[in-house]
Structures are given as structure tokens and as C-alpha cells.
Amino acid sequence: MSDKYNEAIAASSVLADDAVVKATVEKILNDHFDECNTTDVHKFLLNTVDLTTLNATDSPSSVAAFVERVNAFDEEHPELPNVAAICTYPNFAQVVRTVLDVSDVDVCCVSGGFPSSQTFIEVKVAETALAVDGGADEIDIVLNLGNFLDGDYQEVCDEIIEQKQACRDARMKVILESGALATAENIKKASVLALYSGADFLKTSTGKGYPGASLEAAFVMCSCIREYFEKTGRMVGFKASGGVRTTDEAVRYYCIVKAVLGEMWLTNEYFRLGASSLANNLLTSILGEDTKCF
């Protein structure tokens, strides 16, 4: 029996053959990595980082100190762009908002039962609303993998839609947990469902418990974003997270975004990298000496 969810997936012509996706990614990198691996690109990538602390040991004082590093960077390196956002658990939104002095750095919170999405929808909605009330500009939620793998696409989409409403004016990133989905076909299906449920960003991974971002997942997700834009005219962002640590790895994701989505997406409004150690590695590449500002 057909339904609107399966119809939307069936209407997508995005490439979802794992072997072909892998070969296509390899060709993009072979053709473009060297031309993209420049200091200017490294500076741009620094400005796409969602600087992240998601530890069981996080506290108001440790998160405040984390934010102060971002404040200090703005004063110590005024010639360089700062990170795009600071990402924490939702109970620290108000701490980040209070301590943060840099106007062009956003407050981002994971929410919705992160990282498993295994809790009541009422709890997910309340957590998101409280994070926004606390000052979050952006909310990162996790697609309900259990329902997705059971084929209950209506429940998957309804949860995303409800959390999107709770975001109000905040932007919502939907984490697909691409390492758990594993195949290009599953990543394509999840991307289509998230896009048509109002996601403002597609994000690869939580970085918790499953393989993190992969270039192949990025290619499929960006292809779905491109197709969705061509059909609807709405631009949706892409965020790679989970294991993106080195400058070379970051440049590879830049190559994929540039090749698939194009120049319009080469702004931190539509391209992000979620990381805890990447910012320092990019700084080291930019400055030419070992640097640990964050």
C-alpha cells in the first residue's frame, strides 16, 4: 500500500548504490582536493565549526570556561574568523548565552533525548522548548532510528515536525546517525523524510556509539539536499560530525559540499562541522605552529 512517505522516497532520483557512491566520492577528491587544500579554505572551515562539549562531566563552571575560550579567541586573533557555534547539552543553554560575548557565534544545543532519541515525544518537545527558552539559536535532534528501521515513517516524521514546532525561531538540525543506517539507500530514505518534515540542516552523526561521519554519507545527504532545493527552492544546510578531527578530513568534506551543492552552500549558514578537536588543528594549519586556543 502506497503512502506519501514512500511516494516521496520513490520520487527521489538520488544515487544510492554504495559502490557507485564510493567511486564518485573518490573521483571528486582526486579531482579537487589539492585545489581546495589552501589556507583560505582552512580559515573558512574554522568559521564552520560547531565547537562541542558533550561530556558526562560537563558542569556550569566547565561550560563557562569553554565559552570563555571562544571570547578570548576573538580578542587574541581578530584577524581570523571565530567558530560558528558552541554546542552543549540543553541544560547549559543559559550558561552559554550568559557568558558568550561574541555576537556572531551561535548557541547550539543537542536535544530530543540525544544521542539515542529514546524517550517520550513529550520529553523531546519539552527539552527542545526549554533549550530555546534558555537562549539556543540552533537545536540538534536525532531521527528516531528504531521507528525508521521498523518502517514506521509516519511516526519518524511526526516526531521531527513536533520538535520543529518547539524550536520556534531556532534552526533545527536533524541527525541521521549515518553510521547506524550504514547503507546509501537508508541514508537517502532518512534524508528525504527529514527534509520533508522541515529540517533546516541534515547532520551525519552524534559521535556517540556508532561510526561517525563518512564522505559517502555526506555525498548522499548533500545530493538529497540539492534535489530538494531544485524541487522546492528551500536551502537546507549540511553538517558533518563525529570523527572529523584533522584539517585534511575537513577539507575533504568541503570538497564534497562544493562539488555537490555548489558555492551557495559555502557559508556557515549552510555548512557546519561538529567537532571538539578540529578547531585547534585548523588553527595549527593556518598559523603554521602547534596551537591550542580552544
Catalytic residue status for 239: yes
pLDDT category at 209 given cuts 50, 70, 90 is confident
- pLDDT reading at 241 higher than 80: yes
Report whether 53 contacts 91 (CB < 8 A): no
For range 232-239, the mean pLDDT = 98
Residue 66, burial from CB neighbour count under 10 angstroms (0-12, 13-18, 19+): buried
Distance (Å, rounded) from C-alpha 46 to C-alpha 286?
9
78 cis-preceded (ω within 30 degrees of 0): no
CA dist 65 and 44 (Å) reads 25
Q: How far does the chain reach from its first CA to its final CA, in angstroms?
A: 53
Bridge partners (DSSP) of residue 88 are 109
pLDDT of 2 higher than 70: no
pTM of the predicted model as reported, rounded to 2 decimal places: 0.96
Q: What is the dihedral of CA 34, 35, 37, 39, to 10 degrees?
A: 140
The full length of the chain comes to 294
**Average pLDDT value for residue range 182-199:** 98
Q: What is the DSSP string of 24-73?
A: HHHHHHHHHHHHH-SHHHHHHHHTTEEEE---TT--HHHHHHHHHHHHHH
Angle formed at CA 104 by CA 100 and CA 108, multiple of 5 degrees: 65
What is the Cα 110 distance to its own chain's centre? 11
Kindly state the average pLDDT of the residues 23-46.
98
27 as an active site residue: the answer is no
Q: Percent of the chain, pLDDT > 90?
A: 96
Active-site entry in 137, 140, 164, 188: 140
In one letter, which amino acid is 186?
N
| Region 223-233 average pLDDT | 98
Q: Are 206 and 175 in contact (CB under 8 A)?
A: yes
Q: Is 3 a catalytic residue?
A: no
pLDDT average, residue stretch 96-119: 97
Confidence category of residue 1, pLDDT binned at 50, 70, 90: very low
Q: For the residues 70-81, what does the mean pLDDT come to?
A: 95
What mean pLDDT comes out for the span 69-77?
95
| pLDDT score at 154 | 96
Rounded to whole angstroms, the Cα distance separating 242 from 204 reads: 8
What is the pLDDT at residue 226?
Answer: 98
Q: Amino acid identity, residue 201?
A: F
Which of the following is catalytic: 173, 188, 189, 239?
239
Tell me what pLDDT residue 107 has: 98
> What does pLDDT average to over the chain?
96
pLDDT in tens, 253-292: 999 999 999 999 999 999 999 988 899 999 999 999 998 9
